[in-house]
A and B are shown apart, each in its own frame.
Chain A
Amino acid sequence: MARKNYEIDFLSILLYLALVLLGWVSIYAVSSDGGDVSMWDFGTEHGRQMIWIGISLLLGLVILGLDSRIFEPLAYVAYGVGLTVLLFTLFVGKEVNGAKAWLTFGPAAIQPAEFMKVAAALALGRYMSEQQFTVRNIRKLLIAGSFVIIPALIVILQNDTGSALVFGSFLIVFYREGLSPLIPILLILIVIVVVLTLWLESLWIMIAIIAGITLVSFVVTFSRKNMMRLGALHLAVALGFGLLSFSTNFIVSKLPPHQQIRLKVLFDPTIDPSGAGYHVIQSKIAIGSGALTGKGFTQGSYTKFDFVPKQETDFIFCAIGEEFGWLGSSFVMIVLFVLILRVYYMAENSKTRLARVYGYCVLSILAFHVMVNIGMTIGLVPVIGIPLPFFSYGGSSLLAFTVMYFILINFYSHRMSVLGTKV
């Protein structure tokens, strides 16, 4: 019966192959240095990535062949194992770029946090798919939240803030499952207020802005009936944000000067061009020099000569921007958006809540990675070291994203074999 309703989703797999190929081409462009380097030279980064792609494909095929039902019982096990390895890494892990987030196995290194995202997604999916779960039950909401918060905290302890922030993107999942939109809106507002405070460097302007907006909002929503309640609410919100802005300002002013510079560099990299701002400046030059059509495959002199640090991993988008120009980078962005659309489609069209929650987790993680990664290369987001899914060099991240994505395809491919009701 299960076999009958099984149908492999070739479109999603094709999309995956396209992304991985584009990623490999970008890595080749950077690591070949424009010379006649063999595609199969495993001493090079593109050669090694080829191996990782092979392993990932194999793993993906294995996952596709699994019975979809196996993931539900596996979810908590995977989560438990993941947490243990994560904790283990905290003590015996290898430190790379200041983060103690890597486990080495001979020549290969694995970043457990990458896989923890998959485990957390599965565990969250399973917990939320249990009949009684609803976001209105605060206790259950907190338990669900802790599935995400616990690994995030461990990752923060590993000093890998970038990866930890990814767990924050799970908020989208909670929102989709019924969490009040006020919470994400509030969070976004908080971020906006903090960023504006840092950017404007003036408490008074901030207070004026908050007061102004609150006043406008109050006038617009004014009605005689709710006057008192509305007024109190507006006052509370204004006071809250004012306090937030004030404390942000206060904390920043108490920071040592070098940390203040690191914050200011987020808004203006030119104040420290050879230090904290170096990455962003070089990255923007590389991308910006690509112009409309780019300098041509492997002709990107700026990335080729290693002006952009970490250009084959976190800053791989520079190579795309420089060598393929605006048309190429826009194309890549569109392909990535199509991927997100596809994930959305698979999530919404799943027959189980587990699959849907899991699908939204995948969507959140991918969207977050793409937005932060590309955003930082073009200077719109602070430099947070997280990879561009399927593009960045590195087996750990490719494997984890592959596993994550193929489990979703598996759910989708087996959707007919599972009896379930749409929630």
Chain B
Amino acid sequence: MEQRGYYVLAFVGLIFLIYIGRLFSIQVLSEEYANRAEGQVVATQTVVPPRGNIYNRKGDIYVDNRPIFSLMVTPSELSIPDTTRLCLHLGIDKEELDKRLSKIFKNKRARWQEHVLARYLEPNQYGALKELFWNFSGVSFQATNKRYYQYPVGANILGYIREVNPSEIAENPQKYHRGDLIGNSGIERSYDDVLRGQQGTRKVLKDNLGRVVGLYKNSSLNVTAVRGPDMMIGIDTDLQALGEELMQNKKGSIVAIDPSTGEILAFVSAPVYNPGDLTGKLLDESYGKLKEDPNNPLFNRPLMAKYPPGSIFKVAMALAALDAGIINPNTYYGCGGGFKRNKGKPGCRMHVSPLSLKDAIKYSCNSYFAATYMDYLHEPSYDSIYAAYNSWYGYMYRMGIGHALSVDLPYEKGGSLPTTAMYDDARRWYGHNRWSATTIISNAIGQGEIEMTPLQMANLVSLVANRGKYYPPHLRVATRDKQEQAWVREHYDLIDTQIDPEHVEVVIDAMEEVVQFGTGRRAFLTDFHVCGKTGTVENSHGEDHATFIGFAPRDNPRIAIAVIIENAGGGGSWAAPTAAVLMEKYLTGKVVEKRGEMERILAADFITQ
């Protein structure tokens, strides 16, 4: 019987050996359990760095970040002794609070996790709540950033920030996570990849209830978040502010460019709204209001509105015709109150006749440019009207008309410049060889099928100011280098329209006379040789739109500007003085000479009248 003890021991020993073998298999041979343990215990949190700041052209902070807080509650630990004051500070009533809490409490599984009770608390609310919370439990704050505008102008330039939507996450799950912020328009969007920086990650340990209980491997695997670099844009915030003020109670655009660099100095879209309205808790409400507004303030006019350019187009016509050798400064055409060669169309006002190019620009003679256009298209050195048209088209295209200028803003429109193919389209237009100079004569005076955005108008006058060459208009001037902390300027390639500067000078002569003696007299500045051209855009829906393009000073121009005021009538009376006020402001830093004009413009209302 004694040996039975051995059998018992052998049996137990065998089982123990099996267990040790089993342990070896799950602990040493299999990686599965170790991976699963890590998967359940280690959670990766994303760390969102603050967005890069935006500076204005003077190097002052234009846009930076301010903390904004979300009030978080942990249901399992929640104790609120004073709901009345909590509601008061949150700005909600008891009913709303109960509604939010019961929604949070509904999720039984996540009772140990933090949930958002209220978002977008301002620092003052945060302070007040923090004081109130000394005897609360289960409440905490989560800080995020919202944009703060040191200069509350240029909402259409800057754009705004919102949370990524599900489709964006689905499209790019590596880059975007739920709750991430993304620039929705303006440079916040076009430079989102720059400004947002690089998200970091933090590995934390979570317990069985999903609570964060510590750091994983002493944070050694964490990836540090890198703040987006600061960026300088060419906007002169004072000029922008004045431009926005001048455009109050008006619809329209102002685009000002530094011709020597292509930097956009001002970019006004009226009606104007405060960029701060689209931040934090205001976003949804303000956005809804702006979207409902019949004057459509969210429509970025300088970039997206297309107008027949009207008389300002004569500048482009003159340059093309001079350079193509169709006319010279001494070419005279007659005008009898209309273009005689086409049954008096287009019509014209009474002025001296016949007249030179200079006078034609000064008096904005429609007949002169109709004749020029016709002669251009009939020029015998071209094989056909097609070749002639394409030559003219080429000039226009090189002057930035008919295509987007690739400005660093999203949703830019290219305007329209008809091609021969378009006119050849028999169904929608004329058909092959079934159109002639007379059919498309209104192109000559910027009516017809030509449409330009205010940005293109500004670019046109900018390239005139710069004697036929231009830098693509742009906002970003420089980006702050991380290591050096110095501004690194962006490089832009000069674009040459291949128009002889000599010809440009002829047009500039005329444009100076426009301001000195012609339709643009209200743009005159004593100390600067302002050159410009007014225009009136015919508007079949109501009062005509007033336009003006100009630059100053004549030599070494520092500012080129395009102004378009919808429903303001003639360009001379409203658009030209508006441009002058802004030019004076930019060139002298103040408005003295044009103070009277400024007050007149500020008082004008072209929306409600």
Q: How far is the CA of A133 from the CA of B418 in the complex (A)?
A: 119
A26, chain B: closest CB distance, angstroms? 15
- The verdict on A290 contacting chain B, using a C-beta distance below 8 Å, is yes
Report the nearest B residue to A306, measured CB to CB.
B208
Pair A175/B26 contact, Cβ less than 8 Å: no
Pair A380/B22 contact, Cβ less than 8 Å: yes
Pair B12/A340 contact, Cβ less than 8 Å: yes
- The verdict on A289 contacting chain B, using a C-beta distance below 8 Å, is yes
A154, chain B: closest CB distance, angstroms? 27
Pair A177/B1 contact, Cβ less than 8 Å: yes
Q: What mask results when residues 333 to 353 of chain A are scored 1 for a CB within 8 Å of chain B, else 0? A: 100110011001001100000
A366, chain B: closest CB distance, angstroms? 9
- The verdict on A310 contacting chain B, using a C-beta distance below 8 Å, is no
- The verdict on A397 contacting chain B, using a C-beta distance below 8 Å, is no
Pair A301/B205 contact, Cβ less than 8 Å: yes
- The verdict on A187 contacting chain B, using a C-beta distance below 8 Å, is no
Q: Within 8 Å CB of A333, what residues of B?
A: 16, 19-20, 23
Report the nearest B residue to A308, measured CB to CB.
B208
Pair B24/A326 contact, Cβ less than 8 Å: yes
Pair B208/A288 contact, Cβ less than 8 Å: no
Contact stretch, chosen from A91-99, A213-221, A367-375: A367-375
| Given known contacts A306-B208, A333-B20, A284 and B33 CB-to-CB distance under 8 angstroms | yes
B220, chain A: closest CB distance, angstroms? 14
Q: How far is the CA of A100 from the CA of B12 in the complex (A)?
A: 31
Q: Within 8 Å CB of A286, what residues of B?
A: 37
- The verdict on B8 contacting chain A, using a C-beta distance below 8 Å, is yes
Pair A330/B20 contact, Cβ less than 8 Å: yes
- The verdict on A43 contacting chain B, using a C-beta distance below 8 Å, is no
B488, chain A: closest CB distance, angstroms? 45
**Which of these, A33, A175, A337, contacts B13 with CB under 8 Å?**
A337
- The verdict on B95 contacting chain A, using a C-beta distance below 8 Å, is no
Pair A291/B41 contact, Cβ less than 8 Å: no
Pair A302/B40 contact, Cβ less than 8 Å: yes
Q: What mask results when residues 1 to 38 of chain B are scored 1 for a CB within 8 Å of chain A, else 0? A: 11011001100110110111011101110101110111
B221, chain A: closest CB distance, angstroms? 14
Q: What mask results when residues 273 to 288 of chain A are scored 1 for a CB within 8 Å of chain B, else 0? A: 0000000000011111
| Given known contacts A285-B40, A301-B205, A325-B27, A344 and B19 CB-to-CB distance under 8 angstroms | no
Q: Within 8 Å CB of A325, what residues of B?
A: 27
Report the nearest A residue to B2, measured CB to CB.
A348
- The verdict on B555 contacting chain A, using a C-beta distance below 8 Å, is no
Pair A305/B207 contact, Cβ less than 8 Å: yes
Pair B213/A305 contact, Cβ less than 8 Å: yes
Pair A348/B23 contact, Cβ less than 8 Å: no
Pair A371/B4 contact, Cβ less than 8 Å: no
- The verdict on A307 contacting chain B, using a C-beta distance below 8 Å, is yes
Which residues, 38 to 76 on B, are CB-close (under 8 Å) to A?
Answer: 38, 40-42
- The verdict on B340 contacting chain A, using a C-beta distance below 8 Å, is no
Q: How far is the CA of A304 from the CA of B216 in the complex (A)?
A: 13
- The verdict on A139 contacting chain B, using a C-beta distance below 8 Å, is no
Q: Within 8 Å CB of A291, what residues of B?
A: 27-28, 34
- The verdict on A151 contacting chain B, using a C-beta distance below 8 Å, is no
| Given known contacts A305-B206, A325-B27, A378-B19, A176 and B5 CB-to-CB distance under 8 angstroms | yes
Pair A367/B28 contact, Cβ less than 8 Å: no
**Which of these, B1, B22, B34, B41, contacts A305 with CB under 8 Å?**
B41
Q: How far is the CA of A234 from the CA of B338 in the complex (A)?
A: 126
Pair B26/A367 contact, Cβ less than 8 Å: no
Q: Within 8 Å CB of A306, what residues of B?
A: 207-209
Pair B37/A302 contact, Cβ less than 8 Å: yes
A244, chain B: closest CB distance, angstroms? 22
| Given known contacts A288-B34, A378-B19, A378-B22, A326 and B4 CB-to-CB distance under 8 angstroms | no
B384, chain A: closest CB distance, angstroms? 80
Pair B9/A340 contact, Cβ less than 8 Å: yes
Q: Within 8 Å CB of B12, what residues of A?
A: 337, 340, 367, 371
- The verdict on A230 contacting chain B, using a C-beta distance below 8 Å, is no
Count chain B CB atoms within 10 A of each CB in A305, A348, A363, A371 and give the residue with the most: A305
Q: Within 8 Å CB of A348, what residues of B?
A: 2, 5
A241, chain B: closest CB distance, angstroms? 21
Q: How far is the CA of A308 from the CA of B22 in the complex (A)?
A: 19
Q: How far is the CA of A352 from the CA of B15 in the complex (A)?
A: 30
Report the nearest A residue to B20, measured CB to CB.
A330
Report the nearest A residue to B39, measured CB to CB.
A285
**Which of these, A287, A305, A347, contacts B26 with CB under 8 Å?**
A287
Q: What mask results when residues 295 to 320 of chain A are scored 1 for a CB within 8 Å of chain B, else 0? A: 00000011011110000000000000
Q: Within 8 Å CB of A292, what residues of B?
A: 27-28
Q: How far is the CA of A289 from the CA of B13 in the complex (A)?
A: 25
Pair B27/A287 contact, Cβ less than 8 Å: yes
Which residues, 164 to 223 on B, are CB-close (under 8 Å) to A?
Answer: 205-209, 213-214
A316, chain B: closest CB distance, angstroms? 15
Pair A175/B4 contact, Cβ less than 8 Å: yes
- The verdict on A172 contacting chain B, using a C-beta distance below 8 Å, is yes
Q: How far is the CA of A297 from the CA of B12 in the complex (A)?
A: 29
Q: How far is the CA of A326 from the CA of B20 in the complex (A)?
A: 8
A135, chain B: closest CB distance, angstroms? 10
Q: Within 8 Å CB of A56, what residues of B?
A: none
- The verdict on A178 contacting chain B, using a C-beta distance below 8 Å, is yes
Q: Within 8 Å CB of B27, what residues of A?
A: 287-288, 290-292, 321, 325-326, 329
Q: Within 8 Å CB of B24, what residues of A?
A: 326, 330
Q: Within 8 Å CB of A177, what residues of B?
A: 1
B16, chain A: closest CB distance, angstroms? 5
Pair A176/B9 contact, Cβ less than 8 Å: no
Q: Within 8 Å CB of B208, what residues of A?
A: 305-307
Pair B37/A301 contact, Cβ less than 8 Å: yes
Q: Within 8 Å CB of A321, what residues of B?
A: 23, 27
Q: How far is the CA of A326 from the CA of B36 in the complex (A)?
A: 17
Q: Within 8 Å CB of B207, what residues of A?
A: 304-307
Q: What mask results when residues 357 to 396 of chain A are scored 1 for a CB within 8 Å of chain B, else 0? A: 0001001000100010011001010000000000000000
Q: Within 8 Å CB of B4, what residues of A?
A: 175-176, 181
Q: Within 8 Å CB of A302, what residues of B?
A: 37, 40-41
Pair B37/A289 contact, Cβ less than 8 Å: yes
| Given known contacts A172-B8, A176-B1, A344-B5, A301 and B16 CB-to-CB distance under 8 angstroms | no
Q: What mask results when residues 396 to 440 of chain B are scored 1 for a CB within 8 Å of chain A, else 0? A: 000000000000000000000000000000000000000000000
Q: Within 8 Å CB of A375, what residues of B?
A: 15, 19
| Given known contacts A287-B33, A288-B37, A337-B13, A326 and B28 CB-to-CB distance under 8 angstroms | yes
Q: Within 8 Å CB of A378, what residues of B?
A: 19, 22-23, 26
Q: Within 8 Å CB of B16, what residues of A?
A: 333, 336-337, 371
Pair A307/B40 contact, Cβ less than 8 Å: yes
Q: What mask results when residues 23 to 53 of chain A are scored 1 for a CB within 8 Å of chain B, else 0? A: 0000000000110000000000000000000
Which residues, 58 to 113 on A, are CB-close (under 8 Å) to B?
Answer: none
Q: How far is the CA of A421 from the CA of B18 in the complex (A)?
A: 38
Pair A285/B1 contact, Cβ less than 8 Å: no
Pair B19/A380 contact, Cβ less than 8 Å: yes
Report the nearest A residue to B32, measured CB to CB.
A288
Pair B8/A175 contact, Cβ less than 8 Å: yes
| Given known contacts A175-B4, A337-B12, A348-B5, A289 and B38 CB-to-CB distance under 8 angstroms | yes
17 further A-B pairs in the complex, CB-CB below 8 A; given A176-B4, A286-B37, A371-B16: A175-B4, A181-B4, A284-B26, A284-B33, A289-B37, A291-B27, A291-B28, A306-B208, A321-B27, A347-B5, A363-B8, A367-B12, A375-B15, A378-B22, A378-B23, A378-B26, A380-B19
Chain B positions near chain A (C-beta within 8 angstroms) = 1-2, 4-5, 8-9, 12-13, 15-16, 18-20, 22-24, 26-28, 30, 32-34, 36-38, 40-42, 205-209, 213-214
| 6 contacts across the A-B interface (CB closer than 8 A) | A176-B1, A286-B37, A288-B27, A288-B34, A290-B27, A301-B205
Q: Which 7 A-B pairs have the closest CB atoms?
A: A288-B33, A305-B207, A289-B37, A288-B26, A326-B27, A289-B34, A307-B208
Chain A positions near chain B (C-beta within 8 angstroms) = 33-34, 172, 175-178, 181, 284-292, 301-302, 304-307, 321-322, 325-326, 329-330, 333, 336-337, 340-341, 344, 347-348, 360, 363, 367, 371, 374-375, 378, 380
